[in-house]
Each structure stands twice: as structure tokens, then as C-alpha cells.
């Protein structure tokens, strides 16, 4: 993992966008799936070089909130970005996690995992890039901390073959259920991750993330220490 220290959130977004642009150029000859989050990490997209956008790109999601109120959907937040407008104009597809008309988060997760595996089967040598944030509670993607339930947490997110998990949050976070990439997927399938974590409220969570000891159940963001290639952009470390 490479830590990129920045003076403020804007600098972090600019540098992250530049790093992401370089990565897109580096893998320009390979089909690439970019998975976006819905939080502050979207800021880096404002600084991606438009010249790096290409026809063999596809876009998807890291996680989604299960809510009937479209205002809070991560997919909607992404679609409002200038980056989304540019990629749409170029015909670059964006496949969202579908939570509308779905009976359960688990059903939505199964459907989205089917899409990811279909993409991977077609583009077996393809590259997967994930844009991630770290919550002030240490969550990453839609994986919420559960320090009092280590065994269940590991079974659901880590010791699993599932790429996507739909689950009930049991009061953790703002939404009763979520659909998210599993920690297993982040470890095994993501080629490169760009992690945006800025703001004083994130300082304690980042310290726990980078600490030598700790568990995924306590701080799910600790998974970045084991992923294939990670760039962490922060103004509080």
C-alpha cells in the first residue's frame, strides 16, 4: 500500500484523479471495470483526465444502500457527477446495483454478482479498479463494523466465496440493509484500489486502519493492508 499524504481534501482529490488517470493509461490495452462508491471518494472523478476515457471501459458500483428514497442512492450520486455525464456521452456503460422492486438485499446482491462474474468471464484478462472511502467508524464499501460478532462478520464478508453481499445492518449505519462487495472480492478480484479518506473526523479510523494490530470486524477498512495494490490519499496522517 502506498500512502499519499496531502494538505487538504482538494489536493487529495486532485492527486487521486491524476493517479487514476495514469492507471487508466497504463492499462489502456485491457478491458477495465471501474467500481465507484457514493461518498466523498467521488471527488477524485472531477480530476480524471478526459483523454484517458476509452471504449473498453465499464463502470459499476462498490456498494448500494437499500432504500426506496432515490435521493440517497449511491447510483444517483454518481450519475450527478460531471464524470458520469462525460462517460455516458462516450457510450461507456454504467451498471448499477438494482435495489428497486427487489424483495431483499440478498436478491439484489445475487443479481449484481451475476453481472460481475459475467463481465469477468467475457474479459478474463480484464482489470478491476475500485474507488473507495473510509468511514469515520472504519467501514469500507458497505461493510459496517461488527466488533461484537467476529465469527458472523468473517463468515459473511471475509471467509466466503461470495463477491457481493446483501445483508441487514442491524442498526449499523443509516440504512437497514445494504448491498456491498465482500472483503473477499476486494482481496481477490480488485487489481488496484484508490482510497480517499480526508477530514479530521476520519483520523481515528485511519489510525486503526493502519495500526499493526486489529481485526476486520472492528475496522473493516484494514482490508486495504492486504489488497493487491492500494493508494491511500489522506490529509490527516
Give the E-state strand segments of the chain in sequence order: 2-5, 32-36, 57-61, 63-65, 127-133, 164-168, 177-181, 192-197, 230-234
Phi, psi values for residue 24, rounded to 5°: -65, -35
Type and span of the H or E element at 153: helix 150-153
In a 13 Å sphere around the CA of 62, the CA atoms on its Cβ side amount to 28
Please tell me the pTM assigned to this model. Answer: 0.96
3-class secondary-structure state, position 47: helix
Q: How far is CA 236 from the centre of its chain?
A: 20
Architecture of domain 2-234: 3-Layer(aba) Sandwich (3.40)
pLDDT at site 148: 87
User: Quick one: CA torsion of 22, 33, 17, 25, rounded to 10 degrees?
Assistant: 20
3-class secondary-structure state, position 88: helix
pLDDT at site 227: 98
Instruction: Return the biggest CA–CA distance within the chain.
Output: 47
Mean pLDDT by 10 residues, the chain (237 residues): 97 98 97 95 97 96 90 94 97 95 89 98 97 97 93 96 93 82 98 98 98 97 98 97
pLDDT at site 174: 75
pLDDT at site 86: 97
Type and span of the H or E element at 114: helix 105-122
pLDDT at site 224: 98
Amino acid at each position: 500500500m502506498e500512502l499519499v499524504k496531502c494538505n487538504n481534501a482538494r489536493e487529495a482529490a486532485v492527486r487521486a484523479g491524476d493517479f487514476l488517470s495514469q492507471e487508466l493509461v497504463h492499462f489502456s490495452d485491457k478491458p477495465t471495470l471501474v467500481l465507484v462508491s457514493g461518498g466523498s471518494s467521488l471527488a477524485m472523478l472531477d480530476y480524471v483526465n478526459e483523454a484517458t476515457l476509452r471504449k473498453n471501459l465499464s463502470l459499476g458500483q462498490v456498494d448500494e444502500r437499500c432504500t426506496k428514497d432515490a435521493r440517497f442512492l449511491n447510483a444517483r450520486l454518481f450519475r450527478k457527477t460531471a464524470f458520469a455525464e462525460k462517460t455516458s456521452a462516450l457510450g461507456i456503460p454504467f451498471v448499477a446495483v438494482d435495489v428497486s422492486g427487489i424483495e431483499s438485499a440478498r436478491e439484489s446482491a445475487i443479481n449484481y454478482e451475476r453481472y460481475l462474474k459475467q463481465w469477468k468471464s467475457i474479459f478474463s484478462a480484464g482489470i478491476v479498479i475500485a474507488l473507495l472511502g473510509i468511514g469515520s467508524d472504519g467501514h469500507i464499501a458497505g461493510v459496517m463494523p461488527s466488533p461484537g460478532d467476529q465469527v458472523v462478520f468473517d463468515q459473511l464478508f471475509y471467509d466466503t466465496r461470495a463477491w457481493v453481499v446483501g445483508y441487514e445492518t442491524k442498526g449499523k449505519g443509516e440504512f437497514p440493509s445494504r448491498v456491498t462487495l465482500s472483503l473477499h472480492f476486494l482481496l481477490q478480484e480488485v487489481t488496484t484500489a484508490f482510497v480517499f479518506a480526508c477530514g479530521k473526523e476520519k483520523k481515528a479510523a485511519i489510525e486503526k486502519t493502519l495500526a499493526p494490530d486489529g481485526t476486520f470486524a472492528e475496522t473493516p477498512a484494514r482490508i486495504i493492508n492486504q489488497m493487491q495494490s492500494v493508494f491511500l490519499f489522506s490529509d490527516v496522517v
